[in-house]
Homo-oligomer: A and B are copies of this chain.
């Protein structure tokens, strides 16, 4: 019964144009929800086995009430030391991070952490398939961008006055748009077939 107090409405009013468009075109699903649904579909149809890693939590205090489950009473979010998604496709190890932006012209590099980049470098070094999935919500476009192409753009920001983002144009030119399917499938495996096999 949240509607009468206006909370839901307030939330709706505060949404950006990009979010409203997304709502319309894509039932308001976040990129994470889309990818989780895609992975469930892939698993059920024996395409690949990819799962999202749980959010890392530093657990400080746990209560053990009688006759019920343990309750975490104090915990903190930890910064993940790897990317969020990994799994197996055609015997190969695949590993990726997924981020969306409401920005129309560029994707800010602070969406990634340095140790995630280091992790993807290690994955590449060991023959794994590493990439990022980037969604421009305002354009309703989702791209696969290989880690190999990301690394030099990541390094660029540390140069003298280096830009702290990847332009939309660079992503269009160097990334590959991921085809959308039904239901809410972003079919990244199709792109992997094209790029890595």
Contacts and interface: CB of A to CB of B under 8 A. Distances in A.
Interface stretch (A15-23, A88-96, A166-174, A178-186): A88-96
Nearest to A89: B126
Interface stretch (A2-10, A65-73, A98-106, A145-153): A65-73
A126 B70 contact: no
A106 to B, nearest CB: 28
Contact of A93 (B56, B82, B93): B93
A122 B47 CA distance: 10
Contacts of A126: 46, 48-49, 88-91
Contacts of A48: 126
A126 B47 CA distance: 8
Contact of A77 (B49, B69, B93): B69
A54 B56 contact: yes
Contacts of A81: 51
Given A51-B82, A54-B55, A123-B49, A128 B75 contact: no
Interface in A95-123: 95, 119, 122-123
A86 interface: yes
A54 B74 CA distance: 17
Interface in A8-67: 43, 46, 48-49, 51, 53-57, 59
Interface of A: 43, 46, 48-49, 51, 53-57, 59, 69-78, 80-82, 86-95, 119, 122-123, 125-128
8 contacts: A49-B123, A57-B59, A72-B76, A88-B93, A89-B126, A90-B126, A91-B128, A92-B127
